[in-house]
Amino acid sequence: MPAPSPTFSSLPETPMCEKTEVNDTDSLPPWAKITLTSAEAEIEKLISRNELKDAEVTYFCQVEPILQDGPQCGLVALSMASQEYTKPVSVNQLLAEARVRGFTQHGEVYSVDFMGTLAAEYLPDHKPDILVDLQQCPDTLTHALAHGAMVLIPYDSDFNHAPCLKKGHKAHWALLVGLISSRQGYHVLARHGKSRHLACWPLRDLIESNGNLEEEGTARHAGGYVIPKGGVGGQKGLRGRALALHPYI
């Protein structure tokens, strides 16, 4: 019996460019400036490895890694984000719901809107906010992170899982859990379903990768994937878009 046609919830979008002075400590919430302890030794190693000068961690949220089984990277990222919720949701729960709603066949999620609908259903402690036009308005992403949101973002994953440019053929989801400012610019701290280790990437590389998502890869799962109307690069797809999860306080 075929799955019902996808439906879209009326989630807010954030298309406007707002200039945000993330280094202005007076405008940031209390958790935006933290002092690293021994528990954050992995972050210190990443800062050293990337040779970030005058690095300042302006936001970090600790979530435990979850490894994906098959093309479930988006659902895994959302499940990791749900650890901040009073009742975390499992990948299997999200997969079952996504199939019922017609969002996926095998665990793949090729729409930020699909992900936003699932977040609204299963993370009532967080307000989902679709960020758009990231290439023109990168400040919307840094603003969200600096003010306590986690961000689900699609990008092309290279052999080492870092952002690359493959036109969407290596599309992958990451959960952004931290923001570092330094002389070299902004870097993000990320979790994703293909590694137990925290990742650290230049924000500009991630946004460029996000902006090149045009089509699904040719090596598709038997039975095909669910692609939103307009395609991967369309208005309901992945290109230039991300999902911020703002905590209700």
Going from the first residue of the chain to its last (249 residues), give the mean pLDDT of each consecutive group of 10, the final group possibly shorter.
43 50 45 51 91 91 92 96 90 97 95 97 91 94 93 97 96 96 95 95 98 85 82 96 90
pLDDT at 11: 54
Q: What is the dihedral of CA 149, 155, 161, 166, to 10 degrees?
A: -170
Does the annotation count 200 as an active-site position? no
Residue 89 near residue 98, CB atoms below 8 Å: no
Tell me the pTM.
0.85
DSSP state of 112: H
Angle, helix 73-81 to helix 112-122, in steps of 10 degrees: 30
- Residue-range domain boundaries for the chain: 53-245
Residue 241 CA to residue 13 CA, distance in Å, equals 10
Residue of 17, 61, 73, 137 with catalytic role: 73
Residue 87 near residue 218, CB atoms below 8 Å: no
pLDDT at 248: 78
Copy the structure tokens of residue 166.
């493959």
CA atoms within 13 A on the CB side of 150: 29
pLDDT at 13: 61
- Using only C-alpha atoms, what is the Rg of the chain? 17
Residue 45 CA to residue 152 CA, distance in Å, equals 24
CATH architecture, domain 53-245 = Alpha-Beta Complex (3.90)
pLDDT at 223: 64
Q: Among 189, 201, 175, which residue's Cα sits nearest to residue 91?
A: 175
- Strands (DSSP E) found in the chain: 13-14, 56-60, 126-131, 150-157, 163-164, 171-182, 185-191, 199-202, 242-247
Residue 220 near residue 121, CB atoms below 8 Å: no
In this structure, which amino acid lies at residue 115? M
